[in-house]
Amino acid sequence: MNWKRATIAAACVVPLIILFGYGLTRDPKDIPSPLPGHEASPFALAVFAPGQPPLNRAPGDTVRLAELKGQVVVLNFWASWCLSCRDEHQILSETAKTYAGKPVHFVGVLYNDEPANGTQWIEQMGGQSYPSVNDPGARTAINYGLYGVPETYFLDVNGRIAYKATGPVNERLIRHVVDSLMAAGAK
């Protein structure tokens, strides 16, 4: 056996195999966001779906991030054409109810959709406990580095983005992040 040739061939091929192997261990859809730890972009968006008491806001009211300082904010981007949004809707709506009266604010942000479609979708899904706002031109979505829907951003009491969830969220995740942020904010 020609050891010299074998060594050269191995030196060429092994790094490539390692590189490809490393690539296979990564999810190409999982792109890390640079936003967690940074201040959340301010927004002022009009309510189109009021939600239900006691979390409701009147249609046409403007939800401003600046007014929510001192509260944990759960910002959920969704659309009526988004199938995965159906999976998390009930969970988000029910979980938000359990935080009523606490310093936590849930807001739905309609992404690339018509408010009329959003309202109809909420009715079909059996209602939504918290209000949803419209984001014309997806300006807020782009400010939050949105790739698609659903995406949920958890903002701490100081208005910083603490966590970004891509895809449907579950109750355990919401409670874990929100409770941690409330506990950190109370210190």
Sites of contact with another protein (CB under 8 A): 12, 31-35, 38, 112, 137-139, 141-148
To another protein, the closest distance from the beta carbon of 138 in angstroms equals 4
148 versus 185: smaller Cβ distance to another protein: 148
Instruction: Tell me how far CA of residue 139 lies from CA of 17, 86, 112, in angstroms.
Output: 42, 24, 10
119's CB contacts (< 8 A; 6+ apart) are 48, 49
Closest separation in Å from C-beta 74 to another protein: 20
In whole angstroms, give the CA distance from residue 167 to residue 84. 7
Task: Tell me if residue 59 falls in helix, strand or coil.
Answer: coil
Q: Which is nearer to another protein, 135 or 156 (CB)?
A: 135
Smallest gap, in angstroms, from Cβ of residue 33 to another protein? Answer: 7
For residues 9 and 184, which CB has a smaller minimum distance to another protein in the complex? 9
Q: Would you say 165 or 178 has its CB closer to another protein? A: 165
Give, in order, the Cα–Cα distances in Å from 131 to each of 5, 52, 118, 126, 168: 69, 8, 11, 14, 18
Min separation Cβ 54 and another protein, Å: 34
The answer to whether the beta carbons of residues 168 and 88 sit under 8 Å apart is yes
Nearer to another protein by C-beta: 34 or 53? 34
Query: In the complex, what is the shortest distance from the CB of residue 179 to another protein, in angstroms, rounded to a whole number?
Result: 28
**Rounded Cα distance, 100 and 129, in Å:** 10
